[in-house]
Chains A and B, each alone.
Chain A
Amino acid sequence: MRVRTDDEAITFDVAALLAVGRFTEALVPAALQADRLEVIPRSLTFLAEIVRRGGVAYAARLAEPLPTPEQTELVRPWLAEPLPVPEQTEPLPAPEQTELVRPLSRPSAPASPPGWPAAAGVDDERLARWLDGVAAIIEARRLTAR
C-alpha cells in the first residue's frame, strides 16, 4: 500500500502547491499545518466565505484573515495570486507513476512541472472550496484521530 504519512505531508510547501494548481495535494499539508497552530475549522470556513464573496485579492488584504498572528502568517501565502497559466498538455499521471512523497519549497517548485496539472487561473470559488476542505480535514482529525 502506498502511504504518505502526516510527518511527511506537514513539510510540504502549501503555497507552492496552490500556485501550480495542485489543490488536492495541498489539502492535507495545509490541514496539518493549521491544526498545529490550533486553527479552528470554522474560522477557515468563514475565510472561505470571504474569498467566495469578496475574492482572493480582497481576502489577501485583510489585516487578520485568521484570528492570531501565527495563523495569519500561515494562511497569508495561501491567498497569493497563482502563477501564470501555461497550456495544459498532459493528463495527471496515475498514482502508480506519481511520487507521492514530494516535499516542495518555493525556489524548487516550477511553474508547471511536466506531467502535472497547470493552475486553472484565479478562481475564487476553487480556493474557497479548498479552504472548506482544509477545515473539514481538521475537523475530521479532531473527531477521530487517535
Chain B
Amino acid sequence: MKITVSINLGGYSFNIDEDAYTELKRYLKNLELHFAEEESSSEILSDIESRMAELFRSKLTSFKQVITIEDVNQVISVMGTPEDISDDEKRSAGDKFSTPGYHRMYRDPDRRIIGGVCSGMGAYWDIEPWTVRVIFLILAMIGGLGILIYLILYIVLPEAKTTAQKIEMKGDPVNIHNIKESVKEEFNTVKKKMNL
C-alpha cells in the first residue's frame, strides 16, 4: 500500500504516488533554478508542465489510474534533465555561473557556537572549527586579544544565509549542480532531525 497525492499539472488532475510526487517536485524545482535567469521562466515552466501532463495522460488507462515513480522517471528522461537541456549552453552558462569560483569568508550559522566566526573560518580554510576556536581561546587569554579580534570579525564578516553564499564559503564554484547538492544535503539533515 502506498499513499497517493492529488496534484494539478498543466490543468489536469492526477493521482500520484508519494515517492513519485517527491521526485517530480524535485525535478520541477531544478528546472526552475535552471531557467531562473530567463526572461519568461514561468512561461517556459508552464509549457513544460503542460507537456508533462500530456505524457502522463498517455500512461493512464482505466486499469492504471495512479502515476508511479517509473512513470515520472520515464517522463523526465523524455523531457531531459536541466543538464541535458543546457547541453548546448553548457559553456556559456558555465561561464556565467562558475568561472570566478568565488571563495569568500562568511560566518557559518549552521555550525556556530557564538556567532559563527570560527566555524566560518574553518569552512573557509577547510579545517576543523575547533582548531580555530582553540586558537581564539588562547589569544583571548593573552590580554583579551582574541575577544577583540572575534568582535571585529563578527562585525566585518557577513553571515552565509543563502545557499550560494554557503557554497562560496567553502570555495566551490557556484552552479546549479552544487546548489542542488547542497539543497539535497540540507533536506537530508532536516529529514534526519525529524526522525529523531
Chain B associates with chain A: no
Binding site for A on B (CB under 8 A): none
Binding site for B on A (CB under 8 A): none
